[in-house]
Structure formats: C-alpha cells, structure tokens
C-alpha cells in the first residue's frame, strides 16, 4: 500500500521505517528540515536500537522516502498522524496545535477517499472532532484511531511485534463490524503483524483514546506507589526493594514497574497523566483522577529527595563538591532527555553550587542543548575522576556493570547514591563505599 506518516519523531520515524519493512511504499513528512535531511540520508535523527538497520534496509529497497513537502501525500491510500502532543507551557493540557496543523495540511492534499490513522496520544474527544471536520471536507474519507504503545529503547520491536493493536472506529463504522472500510484498510496495512496472532481490539473513538492514556496513568501510578513505599521505608529502616520483590510475587501485582528510585520522566508519562487530569476536569469528572496529581507529586518528590540526600552525604553543602552524575536520559537505551529525572537532578545540583560532571552514553547532545551550563564528559572514567560523590540516575547496563574497586581508584571520596536501586549494595559496601539506595 502507499502510506504516509506525518511527523517523523520517536514515533513517526520508527513507524515509517517499520511500514516500509512490512513492504509498503512510505513517505515520511515532517516540518523539521534537518530531521528530514538526516532521514533521507538513511541516518536516524535520534538513538533507537535497531532503527539504523531497518532504515537502511528501507532506504535500499527504495520503498521509503522523507520530505517536508506535504503535497506528496496526494497519492497515498493511508495516512498516519504521529506528530507531537506536548504539554502546553502554562497548563496541564496537551498542546494540540501540531495535530491540528497536520490534519489541515493532510485534508488539503489527500485523496478524497483515503484513510487517516491517528497515532498521536490525544485528549479523549479529539478523534470525534477531527472525524466531524473530515466528514465535512471529504465525506468518503475515514478516520480510525490506533494508539501507539511503543517503548523507547524497544520501539522497532514494539512497532513490528506489538502486544496488542487497538482500532478506534466512528459510530457509523462500528455498525458495519468487520466490513468497516477503515478497519479493512488497517488490517491490510498490518497484515503480517496480525497474522502472528497479535490481539486486535475494536472500540469506539473515546475508548481507543482512553486506552492509551489510562495505560500510561496506570504505569505511572505503579511507579509512584512503590516510591511512596520507599518514603515510608526510609522513615522506618525497611528495604523497599525486598518489599517490591515480596509483593511482586503476587501475580495480581507483578514485579515490573515496581522499582523505587528517582521516578519516571520522558516525553510521555508525565505529560500524559497531566493531560488526562486536564481533560477529566474539562469533562466535569476531575475527581476521578485527583489521585494522579498525587502520583505526579510523589514522582517530583523523588528528585528532591535525591538532591537532599546528596547534600546530606556531602556534609550539608554541595558548594564546590565534585559530583559525577551517571546518566542523563529518562531511561536507558534512548537519547531522550525530555522531562528526564536524571537531567533534572544534575541541573538542581549544579544550581546548588556543586561541580557537576555528567555523563551518558547517548544523551549528552540533547542534554547540552537544553542545559549548556553543565559540564558533560563522554568518558565514564573521566566523569568519575576525583568525584566526591557518584550519583547513578539512569540505569544503563554499563553503569550497572561498573567495578566498585576500579571506580574507587578514580574518585576522591567513595560516596555513591544509587538513584535507580540498580546496583548490588553489598558489592559496593565490601569495596568500602558508602552506598545509599532509595528506600533501602
């Protein structure tokens, strides 16, 4: 099929390459000419495992092109909208200007009977609004909402082998059941994915939109729950990691997403829970999600707690103390520093007078763009040199594998805060480190 993908960021670039991998002819459109130039050369504009390989295969096959020219959507059968929906600057709500602009551009140039597939994470009600507009412009076109669940770091695998696909249909199309046109077209696009038995759930628009945000709200809640337990563990001397192991063995609870630490971040979870709160308030059901404010607050407190602990460990003042910050991205295997707890902590420490040297295998260019005041060092060894305190804030494998004795030979003082509870405390204590975990 001929497919366009509007918006070529973390979601869209991967989606475009993955659709070409499935054998479709794809054009990726973005307003960012630098990003498009890189993608046109087969270069990923961000770090994502396996993306370089599928991009170059797609490039060689001639099935994937990128452009800033929206008119190229004209001969496509299907259009995916994957533009950003960040938080508005002075509100919790999502900024919908990019979705609106993408839709406007698309509706002007698309074939009048094409299918639009919404992938961006949007406030509930958006799909219906867009469908109404589409109906007025192109009565023979259709809109289906197909939220994306990919995880950065596993984006290629999650796109090609999703654990489920959700199709949100208009009320009219829902009546046609399996004969609904947009459903059949999307089934064709995802034929190979569905052939492997991937569950496909067909819902109305509102449910599809809510599935995405409620999944993120649930995951955020799980993380903040264990971080709340970490606060209590800190006040009582209990060990939150053992607690998580013990409750996680209950199948109804599960161990995943129960790692206490510096909390969640990134371009999705924080803004998605805030947008859900804002939308619920608009709908007059704000009370249903008041607890998400607490989830957000607990999460912010973990960042403060790490800074507080660093100050305590360094004797009450950070002034002039050298702090090696290991990690800048919001999670390992990504270069994404959007709302990253690691970068936030580094910035706060710097603001309090610490001599911060921050390192990360992939995140330095993005971090440097946002916070040039910090001293960045690509080499972990150099970053650790003469540190008074080592702070692990993103659990990259290379940091988890650091040798306590070797690291001990580089630093000035053997103080370590494990902001992700990712290390084995006894190994560090045996090498005479002052090890501080969170909630343990």
**Residue ranges in contact with ligand NAD by CB under 6 A:** 6-12, 29-32, 35, 82-85, 98, 101-102, 105, 120-121, 148, 150, 152, 267-268
Q: How far is the CB of 255 from ligand NAD (least distance, A)?
A: 22
268 is catalytic: yes
Q: Is 261 annotated among the ligand-binding residues?
A: yes
Length of the chain: 440
C-alpha distances in Å from residue 9, one per residue of 270, 307, 324: 18, 32, 31
Q: How far is the CB of 395 from ligand NAD (least distance, A)?
A: 18
Q: Is 436 annotated among the ligand-binding residues?
A: no
C-alpha distances in Å from residue 340, one per residue of 334, 335, 366: 11, 10, 11
Query: Could you tell me if 148 and 239 are in contact, meaning their C-beta atoms sit under 8 angstroms apart?
Result: no
The residue among 82 and 263 lying less far from ligand NAD, judged by its C-beta, is 82
Locate 16 and state its tokens. 């475009």
The residue among 22 and 101 lying less far from ligand NAD, judged by its C-beta, is 101
How would you list the strands of the sheet with 64-67, edge to edge? 64-67, 25-29, 2-6, 78-81, 115-118, 142-145, 165-169, 200-204
Query: Could you tell me if 114 and 182 are in contact, meaning their C-beta atoms sit under 8 angstroms apart?
Result: no
C-alpha distances in Å from residue 233, one per residue of 249, 260, 273: 19, 11, 26
Phi then psi for residue 417, to 5 deg, are -110, 120
Q: What is the DSSP string of 213-226?
A: HHHHHHHHHHHHHH
Q: Is 259 annotated among the ligand-binding residues?
A: yes
Q: How far is the CB of 46 from ligand NAD (least distance, A)?
A: 7
Q: How far is the CB of 215 from ligand NAD (least distance, A)?
A: 10
Single out the catalytic residue among 18, 268, 342, 402: 268
Q: Which residue is nearest to ligand NAD (CB)?
A: 9
The residue among 10 and 436 lying less far from ligand NAD, judged by its C-beta, is 10
The residue among 303 and 331 lying less far from ligand NAD, judged by its C-beta, is 331
Query: Could you tell me if 174 and 139 are in contact, meaning their C-beta atoms sit under 8 angstroms apart?
Result: no
- Helices assigned H by DSSP within 237-340: 240-248, 269-282, 290-313
Q: How far is the CB of 18 from ligand NAD (least distance, A)?
A: 13
Binding residues for substrate: 149-152, 212, 257-261, 265, 331
Binding residues for NAD(+): 30, 35, 85, 121, 152, 271, 338
Binding residues: 30, 35, 85, 121, 149-152, 212, 257-261, 265, 271, 331, 338
Task: Report, as residue numbers or ranges, the catalytic residues.
Answer: 268
């Amino acid at each position: 099929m001929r497919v366009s993908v509007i918006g070529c960021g973390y979601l869209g670039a991967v989606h475009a390459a993955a659709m070409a991998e499935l054998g479709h002819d794809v054009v990726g459109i973005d307003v960012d000419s630098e990003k498009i130039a890189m993608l046109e050369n087969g270069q990923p504009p961000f770090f994502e495992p396996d993306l370089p390989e599928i991009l170059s295969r797609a490039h060689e096959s001639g099935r994937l092109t990128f452009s800033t020219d929206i008119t190229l959507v004209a001969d496509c059968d299907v259009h995916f909208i994957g533009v950003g929906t960040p938080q508005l600057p002075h509100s919790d709500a999502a900024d919908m200007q990019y979705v609106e602009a993408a839709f406007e551009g698309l509706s002007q140039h698309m074939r009048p009977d094409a299918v639009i597939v919404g992938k961006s994470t949007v406030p509930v009600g958006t799909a219906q609004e867009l469908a109404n507009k589409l109906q007025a412009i192109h009565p023979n076109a259709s809109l289906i909402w197909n939220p994306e669940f990919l995880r950065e770091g596993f984006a290629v695998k999650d796109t090609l082998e999703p654990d489920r696909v959700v199709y949100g249909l208009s009320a009219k199309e829902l009546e046609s059941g399996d004969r609904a046109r947009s459903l059949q077209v999307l089934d064709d696009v995802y034929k190979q994915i569905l052939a492997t038995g991937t569950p496909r759930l067909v819902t109305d628009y509102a449910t599809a939109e809510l599935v995405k945000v409620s999944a993120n709200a649930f995951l955020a809640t799980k993380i903040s729950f264990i971080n709340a337990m970490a606060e209590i563990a800190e006040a009582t001397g209990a060990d939150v990691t053992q607690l998580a192991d013990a409750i996680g063995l209950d199948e109804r609870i599960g161990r995943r997403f129960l790692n206490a630490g510096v909390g969640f971040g990134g371009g999705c979870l924080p803004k998605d829970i805030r947008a859900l709160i804002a939308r619920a308030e608009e709908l007059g059901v704000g009370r249903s999600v008041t607890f998400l404010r607490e989830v957000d607050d607990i999460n912010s407190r973990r960042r403060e707690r790490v800074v507080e602990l660093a100050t305590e460990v360094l004797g009450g003042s950070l002034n002039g103390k050298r702090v090696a910050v290991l990690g800048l991205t919001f999670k390992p295997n990504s270069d994404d520093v959007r709302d990253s707890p690691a970068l936030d902590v580094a910035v706060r420490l710097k603001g309090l007078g610490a001599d911060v040297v921050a390192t990360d295998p992939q995140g330095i260019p993005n971090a440097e763009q946002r916070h040039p005041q910090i001293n960045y060092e690509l080499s972990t060894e150099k970053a650790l040199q003469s540190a008074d305190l080592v702070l692990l804030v993103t659990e990259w494998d290379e940091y988890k594998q650091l040798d306590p004795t070797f690291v001990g030979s580089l630093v000035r003082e053997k103080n370590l805060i494990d902001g992700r509870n990712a290390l084995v405390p006894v190994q560090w204590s045996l090498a005479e480190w002052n090890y501080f975990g969170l909630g343990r």
